[in-house]
Amino acid sequence: MDHFQYKSGKLYAEDVALADIAAQVGTPFYCYSTATLTRHYQLFTEALSPLPHLVCFAIKSLSNVAVLKTLGNLGAGMDVVSGGEYLRAKAAGVPGDRIVFSGVGKTRQEMHLALTGGIRQFNIESEPEMRVLSEVAHGLGMVAPITIRVNPDVDAKTHEKISTGKKGDKFGIPISRAREVYAEAATLPGLKVVGIDVHIGSQLTALEPFEAAYLKVAELTHALRADGHTIERLDLGGGLGIPYTRDNNAPPLPMDYGALIKRTVGDLGCEIEIEPGRLISGNAGILVSEVIYVKNGEDRDFLIVDAAMNDLIRPAMYGSHHDIIALNEPAAGAEQQPYDIVGPICESGDTFAKARNLPALQAGDLIALRSAGAYGAVMSSEYNSRPLVPEVLVHGDHFAVIRARPTFDEMLSRDTIPEWL
């Protein structure tokens, strides 16, 4: 469910007409719905109740500080994978004891930042990282709470670029070596083992891979406790997929996911942490764009729009689908025609959709690319020297620009010319 609906023939975000935002902000722009973000977060908290739990939003999916504050005010924790994301969480007012630090390449500087600023735990990805964290924490006279991310060698049956739990992936340590690595962790100064971490991928559309991974985690929990380790938290990662299309093949619901967690690890007496990103933010955001030209090709027609692959790279990078709709609701039974929907960048890969059926459109018409809240703005760039697009947050009948479009002068001011030129 989301809060982008037609009202009186116009597409609205909650109670704000998107055309009104476009008139004030210009296109293209991202728009997020507070009501959708809130509801999707609450679905997870409801699904895990009454187990002790913390829902940590995966900042990598959508990192705007206003969005993070919206979720943080609801009680969400944050899952960060860089020092920059850590600082965004803190800027949003999220306390350190609700921030989990993940990622395979944590630097000494990032470890120092999180230890001195406050952290719930580090999710350790490798033995070298574990040893470095021990040195940093011990040098500060501090103790770093850790989980160790285990790789369960489970096929998430998702896109190969977002699979993270198979033995050939770069993430975690082989679960077969977990007891050995936990034994070393117990000997290192400055570390305190608090739990186990696992994450098998993103955009999962079935529960079976989760179940296979979580059963392995349950078995490991018993083994580690028998070895004398305190396992009080299970970080089960994220990855539950969202419906990018309006067909009947929707991914499992958070309530079903919660029931699976209770069935597989709910009797272990552990606090449960999960790290959803896409399911909270994905359908809470859209990208609004204006048609620049309608180009009649030899064997197809093109809608050339002012958004491009630098604004939303998922279709070019992953071949991803986004539903595309007009901001003016077509009449019931209106004739549709196929268009290739493309942006202005000088690459054929700058294509959002091919042969997509839409009502007849013309220059100046507005369209929306749905389900663009996750991995949209955060992956954008200034390729072709195109400014980053604004981000807008809607709350009821109000909206605010939460990231402004930079001017060309601001973009150019970041470059410097050496004195010899």
**Peptide bond connecting 28 to the previous residue in cis, omega within 30 degrees of 0:** yes
Phi, psi of 2 (to 5 degrees): -140, 180
DSSP for 17-52, written as a single string: EHHHHHHHH-SSEEEEEHHHHHHHHHHHHHHHTTS-
The candidate with the shortest Cα–Cα distance to 79, out of 217, 203, 167, 71, is 71
**What backbone phi and psi angles, to 5 degrees, belong to 23?**
-65, -30
Q: What is the DSSP letter of 250?
A: P
Q: How many other C-beta atoms are found inside a 10 Å radius of the C-beta of residue 333?
A: 6
Question: Does the active-site annotation cover 346?
Answer: yes
CA dihedral 184, 190, 193, 197 (to 10 degrees): -90
**Integer Cα distance of 272 and 259 in angstroms:** 13
Sign of the CA dihedral with 24 first, then 25, 31, and 35 last: negative
List Cβ neighbours of 3 (8 Å cut-off, separation of 6 or more): 13, 14, 33, 35, 36, 394
- CA distances to 59, 70, 184, 350 from 283, rounded to whole Å, are 15, 16, 43, 22
Rounded Cα distance between 340 and 324, Å, is 11
Half-sphere exposure of 60 (CA within 13 A, CB side): 15
- Look at phi and psi of residue 376 and say left if phi exceeds 0, alpha if psi is from -120 to 50, else beta: alpha
Q: What is the 3-state secondary structure (H, E, C) of 113-151?
A: HHHHHCCCEEEECCHHHHHHHHHHHHHCCCCEEEEEEEE
Q: Is 318 helix (H, G, I), strand (E, B) or coil?
A: helix
Q: What DSSP designation does 9 have? A: T
- CA–CA distance, 410 with 404 (Å, rounded to integer): 12
| Residues with catalytic function | 346
